Amino acid sequence: MHSRIKLFAALTLLVTLLVPAPFTGSAPIRGAAPEKPGVPVDVELALGVDISYSMDPDEQALQREGYIKALTSREFLQALRQGINGKIAVTYFEWAGYSERRVVVPWRLIEGPESADAFVGEIAATPYRRAARTSISGAIEFGAQLFENSGFRGIRRVIDISGDGANNNGQLVTISRDATVAKGITINGLPIVAKRLNYATMDIERLDIYYEDCVIGGPGAFVVPIESRDKFIEATRTKLVLEIAGRMPEARVIPVSADKPRVSCTIGERLWQERWGN
C-alpha cells in the first residue's frame, strides 16, 4: 500500500519529525535534485491548487485559506527553522484543464515570518477564478517545468497537488507521474474528499486511494486527505510541515510501483467519455 498519512496520526508525529536527524556529511540525500546553480534551500515546493468547476466557491475559499494559514503557522515556521539551510523556495499555481494552468505567485524565498507573510499576501490579493476540466497530469507536468528556472537549488523538489476529482483531460496521469518522478521530483497529494458524491460533476468514491495509487510518487511521497470542511486548514498545515521536515515513518515509505492500483487510474477519463462521448 502506498504511504498514507491519516490526519490524526500525522499530527501526533510532528514533534518527532521536527527533531533534527544526525547528519553524516557523506551520505547522498535520496531524491535530491541534480546539482544546478541557484540559491541553496532545503526544498523547492510547487503548490498546485485545483480551480475546476467541480470546486464550489466555498471549497475554493477554504482551499486558499488553508494554504494561507498553514504557511504562516507556528508549526510551519518551526519546521522551516529545523532545516539544514533554514529556508525554502515556494511557488503557487492554479490548474484545471490541460490548457488552464497559470502561476499565481512565482518562486519566492521563505526564510521566516516576514517572507511567509509576504508570500501569502500575494495569494490573498489574487482574484478567484474557475475553469473547465480536470487535468492532474497537466498540473504535474506544469509543476515539473517550473523547477527548471526556479533560481534555487533545493535538496529536494516537491510538487504538492490539491484537488477534488480524478484526471479527465490531457495525458494519462500515471504517464506524467512516472516521467516526473524519473527527474527526481516527489509528488504529494491533498485530495479533497469532504464533499458528498455528485455524479453530475463526476466525483469518484475514495479519491484518496486514487491519489495514492495514481497521482503521488517519488521518495517519501504521501497523501493527506481532507475529510471534512473544517479540516482544510489543519490538513494543509500538517502536509506542509511534513514536506518541510522531509521525513516519513520508515514503515510507511513504500515505492509507488510496489502495488497494483486499487482503483482504475483511467476512471476520470472513462466517466467523461460515458457522459460526454468525447
Exposure string for 181-215, b = 16+ CB within 10 A, e = fewer: beebbbbbbbbbbbbeeeeebbbbeebbbbbbbbb
Across the chain, mean pLDDT equals 85
- Interval 112-148: pLDDT, tens: 999 999 999 999 999 999 999 999 999 999 999 999 9
* Interatomic CA distance for residues 36 and 44, integer angstroms: 13
In this prediction, residue 97 has a pLDDT band, given cuts at 50, 70 and 90, of very high
Q: What was the pLDDT predicted at 132?
A: 93
* Interatomic CA distance for residues 166 and 163, integer angstroms: 8
Per-residue pLDDT at 20 exceeds 80: no
3-state SS assignment for residue 173? helix
User: What's the longest Cα–Cα distance across the chain?
Assistant: 57
* Interatomic CA distance for residues 123 and 121, integer angstroms: 5
User: What SS3 string covers 187-215?
Assistant: EEEEEECCCCCCHHHCCCCCHHHHHHHHH
| DSSP letter assigned to residue 230 | G
Please report, rounded to a whole number, the percentage of residues in the chain having pLDDT higher than 70: 79
Domains assigned to the chain: 7-11+37-276 (3.40.50.410)
Starting at the edge strand found earlier in the chain, the sheet holding 88-95 runs: 101-110, 88-95, 39-50, 152-163, 186-191
Identify whether the C-beta of residue 51 lies closer than 8 Å to the C-beta of residue 131.
Answer: yes
Q: What are phi and psi of 232, to 5 degrees?
A: -55, -55
Q: What was the pLDDT predicted at 194?
A: 76
3-state SS assignment for residue 138? helix
pTM of the model: 0.84
